[in-house]
């Protein structure tokens, strides 16, 4: 059974810092990995999708990497801003619908 | 274009009553998913529809939960005889095709509170 773990559970950083969020998964037989953002009381916004054959994806200040063999992904956020404050969720797609981690709650302090 | 929509956005119901939650997927998406997000539990898969295939119901927590998808588009999640532990945010997602390489797009969710 696929299990997804996100570390840390919560993170508080001053504005302008670069930061890394970690995601690990137990079964490397995946099709893709998605990173989502969730604001309080809102649905999920897809940030980046990495196919299993890819090593990384970039969108603006965000960069996600995938090491399928070791079951790890990282989300790198450059030059963090208060507007980045949200919960970040990692999810993997295999032969079952998405399996989610419990998220990292990020606070960027102005 | 229009994204995934869900209704109602909030629902408060008394224990024991039945509720119906609706999801309108992105037009043309053949795959539709329901997930539940409970406080402290994270997001868990409930049910998955792909085209005309039989749905994957493996995530439904009990036989009080059921879902249907009419005409390959709109889906309704029904919870019978609601219990307090059913209180959660119910999220719907759709994708261009089934499980695999396709990105899932999520709706805003329905917050269900059972009193």
pLDDT, tens digit, for every residue of A19-77?
A: 999 999 999 999 999 999 999 888 899 999 999 999 999 999 999 999 999 999 999 99
Within 8 A of B100 by CB-CB distance, chain A residues are: 31-32, 93
**Interface membership of B59 toward A (CB under 8 Å):** yes
The per-residue pLDDT for B101 is: 65
State whether B104 and A98 contact (CB < 8 Å): yes
CB pairs under 8 A between A and B: 60
B57 in contact with A, Cβ within 8 Å: no
Residues paired with residue B54 on neighbouring β-strands, in sequence order: none
The torsion defined by the Cα of A57, A62, A68 and A72, in degrees rounded to 10, comes to 180
Give pLDDT tens digits for B11-67: 999 999 999 999 999 998 999 999 999 987 789 999 999 888 889 999 999 999 999
Helices (H) and strands (E) in chain B, counts: 0, 10
Chain A nearest-CA residue for B109: A43
Q: Are B60 and B48 in contact (CB under 8 A)?
A: no
Instruction: Give the end-to-end CA distance of chain B in Å, rounded to a whole number.
Output: 37
Residue in chain A nearest B43 by alpha carbon: A100
The number of residues making up chain A comes to 110
Largest CA distance in chain A: 42
Of B45, B100, B107, the CB nearest to A43: B107
| Alpha-carbon span A37 to B21, nearest angstrom | 23
And the tokens for A105?
A: 């709650």
Structure token pair of residue B115: 């009193």
């Amino acid at each position: 059974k696929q299990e997804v773990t996100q570390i840390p559970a919560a993170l508080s950083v001053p504005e302008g810092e670069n930061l890394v969020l970690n995601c690990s998964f137990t079964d490397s037989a995946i099709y893709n990995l998605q990173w989502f953002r969730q604001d309080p009381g809102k649905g999920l916004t897809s940030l980046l999708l990495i196919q299993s054959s890819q090593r990384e994806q970039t969108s603006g200040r965000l960069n996600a990497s995938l090491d399928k063999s070791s079951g790890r992904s990282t989300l790198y956020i450059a030059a963090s801003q208060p507007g980045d404050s949200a919960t970040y969720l990692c999810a993997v797609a295999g032969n079952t619908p998405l399996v989610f981690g419990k998220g990292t709650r990020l606070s960027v302090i102005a | 274009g229009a994204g995934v929509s869900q209704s109602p956005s909030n629902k408060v119901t008394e224990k024991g009553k039945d509720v119906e939650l609706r999801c309108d997927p992105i037009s043309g998406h053949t795959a539709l998913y329901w997930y539940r997000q409970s406080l402290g539990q994270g997001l868990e898969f409930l049910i998955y529809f792909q085209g005309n295939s039989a749905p994957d119901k493996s995530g439904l927590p009990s036989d009080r939960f059921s879902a249907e998808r009419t005409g390959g588009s709109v889906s309704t999640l029904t919870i019978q005889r609601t219990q307090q532990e059913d209180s959660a945010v119910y999220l719907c997602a759709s994708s261009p095709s089934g499980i695999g390489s396709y990105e899932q797009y999520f709706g805003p969710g329905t917050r269900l509170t059972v009193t």
